[in-house]
Structure 1
């Protein structure tokens, strides 16, 4: 049985068990993983089928240990020759972790799963990579989730105290907007604040049940927060990572929310 402990030590242990403890990207996100686990463990819905967008072994392992009968992950379809489904299996401490990886271009192709077939979707550090049409993905998540199904999203907060500090000192406030030397397009294309994320999720037919920001990538900037306080500006939701939990409350409300599309 899974001990529902969501600490950095837990994350390090799971990374070691899944053979990913030396992956520099994964180890750099240990605190974010721990914060995500806290919210994932609170899921109290039916545990039949779950999907993780941009799959990682750590959450595939946790979902299986949480008792989900079927677990899906995704990888981005970079060419038409890629197969649609790829079985994946890894045994950790005698526990068989089985899932199916789906290849899909989130902004152009429907997720190859039936309507209303999922209890839970994880969309962690994915939405900021959407290039032209995030509502295509959000609308499809509405389609594949059961009524009342849960969506757990995380994404960097472009109005964090760290980014406020950058603006105060005359620098651009982006988290990861640099071009890639290898010409990869997989940088951040749109970085969200809580208002934009709420507009996106509400338009897609999701009711927010929890919204928090937490510093998981760096330390909070006391200089920026003090400036905000002195000038009677809001200091709430200044953590550098947004954690959103919502439930599917109905059909898509607005395909092109004006807060995000022109």
Structure 2
């Protein structure tokens, strides 16, 4: 084969170029480096060489974790009795239809109930996606009457009721429920209303904004309240087997529309990361094979943790502090299209992903404060949504630049009026306020400074960014 340079001239032979040093001989260098490593290993004492081989094998072929043991409570320990109890209902048109549903879901119900914490009398529980009320009925057998929520599509009233009748005894079970879309609506409950929220087999159906649901769950949970979440595992054995066969791993389209199919499934690592970024303290996330099929594939499938290939994911997480609307780049593209007010004020680390319109760098912890530096653009534009109008105060909190950067002036523009403050360069957190007139509804606050600085030019570090002040929160408060 003739090698031609750009412009059509024939290139010199590759070997001659290597001899002259014009073309890196990466393959030759790799072989020489490997030979040197072998000589170095052979010079080591035999016990050390054996230990290194054991480490190498462990890294190449890690041992699977011990199988997870779950102790099933007595009320779900007998699978046959549980199946008979749950199928004895007219929520499905036929017993065969109920049997088909439980053939896939019964073991998941048993594991979910086994994960429930000890619940005191009078505990407030919210069950999202409660229909067909199987877990709801299991909770009622324990004396817990959960608040139910469903979504059957737009155009329905905010409250609904379904009555389920036992086929064998005629006993009626009445289920009142709130009707709202967990992906877009504000949940119709005050902050901190519940000690436990069940979110079973919902996450995978959300096509656009699971962050909204997780943030709203966090908001309605009491501090220290628990979220119990289940969802299919994207890297389950079934999916890997389909790929090896050349089959498609995606679900069929649904006649019920977008929400009728799985739109985005998650791995163990993704689910743990997603919950953490939304402000939860994750107690446990694991994959479990709740079906017998394909269990023997695990020993032959490559990967760091064969135990993460179970068909379902189960998670238990604790809500602490404020909810977070974090839209991670590993999950989202075009995050700018999701910008909107979700809180009246802006709190960096909580809702800045959706209420900061531009002009701020990425989130950092500066002097122990979650903040974002200004300076990547001349102005930072923030979206706020006050719930009152009239005389008020704008309050800006953040971190001042270091002494080496020098003092500066911070300005804020709102409703055609500009206020400004002197910020002393001491590298410490600051809080500034000024009187302004405030209107109800979405409003833009524009921040800018009279000067900027660069850490590298101040001799602080190699950071070449253009900075001014770091912002941690902006609030509009009644005077």
Q: TM-score range by the shorter chain?
A: 0.7 to 0.9
- CA–CA distance in structure 1, aligned partners of residues 296 and 143 of structure 2: 42
Q: Which residue of 2 aligns with 1:33?
A: 109
* 1:1-262 aligned within 5 A: 3-20=74-91, 21-22=95-96, 23=98, 24-40=100-116, 43-46=117-120, 47-55=122-130, 56-68=132-144, 70-80=145-155, 82-88=156-162, 99-174=175-250, 177-180=251-254, 182=255, 184-185=257-258, 186-217=260-291, 219-223=293-297, 225-228=299-302, 233-262=304-333
Q: Which runs of 5+ in 2 are unaligned?
A: 1-72, 334-479
The Cα offsets for residues 132-157 of structure 1, whole Å up to 9 and x where unpaired, read as 00001010000111111111111110
Contact in 1 for aligned 2:129/2:148 (Cα 8 Å): yes
Secondary structure, aligned partner of 1:5:
helix
- CA–CA distance in structure 2, aligned partners of residues 149 and 97 of structure 1: 28
Out of 90-99 and 147-156, give the one that drifted further. 90-99
Contact in 2 for aligned 1:156/1:242 (Cα 8 Å): yes
- CA–CA distance in structure 2, aligned partners of residues 183 and 83 of structure 1: 19
Asked which structure has the greater CA Rg, the reply is 2
Over aligned residues, Cα RMSD in angstroms? 2.6
The Cα offsets for residues 9-66 of structure 1, whole Å up to 9 and x where unpaired, read as 24313214444544232443222222222223xx124452111111132211122222
- CA–CA distance in structure 1, aligned partners of residues 128 and 195 of structure 2: 14
> 1:245, CA displacement in angstroms?
1.1
Q: Which residue of 1 aligns with 2:414?
A: none
- CA–CA distance in structure 1, aligned partners of residues 195 and 172 of structure 2: 21
Contact in 2 for aligned 1:119/1:149 (Cα 8 Å): yes
Contact in 1 for aligned 2:298/2:309 (Cα 8 Å): no
The Cα offsets for residues 117-139 of structure 1, whole Å up to 9 and x where unpaired, read as 01111111110000100001010
CA distance 1:169–1:3, change in 2 (3 Å): closer
Give TM-score, length-normalised by structure 1.
0.84
Out of 140-149 and 99-108, give the one that drifted further. 99-108
Secondary structure, aligned partner of 1:237:
helix
Contact in 1 for aligned 2:214/2:278 (Cα 8 Å): yes
The Cα offsets for residues 176-235 of structure 1, whole Å up to 9 and x where unpaired, read as x2112x36221000011111111221122222212221122552343453142xxx6431
- CA–CA distance in structure 1, aligned partners of residues 175 and 125 of structure 2: 10
Secondary structure, aligned partner of 2:176:
strand
Secondary structure, aligned partner of 1:190:
coil
- CA–CA distance in structure 1, aligned partners of residues 197 and 240 of structure 2: 31
Q: Which residue of 1 aligns with 2:418?
A: none
Q: Which runs of 5+ in 1 are unaligned?
A: none
- CA–CA distance in structure 1, aligned partners of residues 81 and 215 of structure 2: 34
Contact in 1 for aligned 2:215/2:325 (Cα 8 Å): no
Out of 200-209 and 25-34, give the one that drifted further. 25-34
Contact in 2 for aligned 1:165/1:224 (Cα 8 Å): no
Say which structure, 1 or 2, has more relative contact order (CA 8 Å, 6+ apart). Answer: 1
